[in-house]
Amino acid sequence: MKIETTPDFSFLTMVSGASLIVQLVMLLLLLASFMSWWFIFQKLFALRTAIKQADAFETEFWSGVDLNQLFQRLTSGRVIACGMEKIFEAGFREYTKLKRQPGLDISSVMDGTRRAMRAAYQRETDNLERKLAFLATVGSVSPYVGLFGTVWGIMNSFRGLANVGQATLAHVAPGIAEALIATAMGLFAAIPAVIAYNRFTHDVDRLATRYESFMEEFSNILQRQGH
């Protein structure tokens, strides 16, 4: 009596049965996926915090608070300033320092103030954009890495047919199924990274626009005070 057995197509069996190169590709994609999700959650909380702090600072700033008192509060060490607060702090510090110097007209004072705010703006936007390049790289490269693993696995499957007298689909199917897991893992790593990158880039651009608008409005306020 002939007993027919069907190949085991469970995920763990196919991964363990894959060639060493394909397994290394799978491991690389798995690590990339874990790191992507770690950075995604980090960036999600960081951007939410930055948006809330910008909202709170703008509300306080436009409420008519005394600028000297606001500056003292931010530099007292009781709060951790970031984002728009850092831009205000850098601009107001430079403005008050240049105003004390004799012989400087308001134009020179404002030029120095704007440069200080621009430097703070650049530091804050660079901090917001951290890890986005990694997400972009994972989103663009992972499918190709997975495809490489698939191609390599399929090549091994067809090379194995050389030792088989009569080639059937049953001989090729397990190897191809193992190889296709690499493509699936590449897409699994890439899709969330691409979605997160697009979302975070949009949020960073909106925050950067708010920072730039604040710099212009704050510069106008300081210039009116200087006259």
Contact by Cβ (8 Å): 92, 73: no
83 belongs to a structural domain: yes
SS (H, E, C) the chain: CCCCCCCCCCHHHHHHHCCHHHHHHHHHHHHHHHHHHHHHHHHHHHHHHHHHHHHHHHHHHCCCCCHHHHHHHHHCCCCCCCCHHHHHHHHHHHHHHHHHCCCCCHHHHHHHHHHHHHHHHHHHHHHHCCCHHHHHHHHHHHHHHHHHHHHHHHHHHHHHHHHCCCCCHHHHHHHHHHHHHHHHHHHHHHHHHHHHHHHHHHHHHHHHHHHHHHHHHHHHHHHHHHC
Q: Buried (b) or exposed (e) across 122-135, using 16+ Cβ within 10 A?
A: eebbeebeebbeeb
What pLDDT is stored for residue 162 in this prediction? 62
Predicted pLDDT of residue 38: 95
Q: What is the pLDDT of residue 1?
A: 38
Q: Is residue 134 part of a domain?
A: yes
9, part of any domain: no
Q: What is the pTM assigned to this prediction?
A: 0.81
pLDDT at position 4: 43
Q: Would you say residue 10 lies in a domain?
A: no
For 84-134, the pLDDT digits (tens) are: 999 999 999 999 998 888 877 888 888 999 999 999 999 999 999 988 999
Residue 11 lies in a domain: no
Q: Into how many domains does the chain fold?
A: 1
Cα-trace Rg, the chain: 29
14 domain residue, yes or no? no
Look up the domain containing 203 and give its range.
19-57+65-226
For 81, the 3-state DSSP assignment is coil
4 is a domain residue: no
Per-residue pLDDT of the chain (227 residues; tens, 9 = 90+): 344 445 555 556 656 666 677 788 888 999 999 999 999 999 999 999 999 999 999 998 888 888 888 888 888 877 777 889 999 999 999 999 988 888 778 888 889 999 999 999 999 999 999 889 999 999 999 999 988 888 887 777 777 666 665 656 555 666 677 778 888 889 999 999 999 999 999 999 999 999 999 999 999 988 887 66
Position 77 scores a pLDDT of: 72
**C-beta of residue 150 within 8 angstroms of C-beta of residue 180:** yes
In a domain, 13, yes or no: no
Amino acid at 36: S
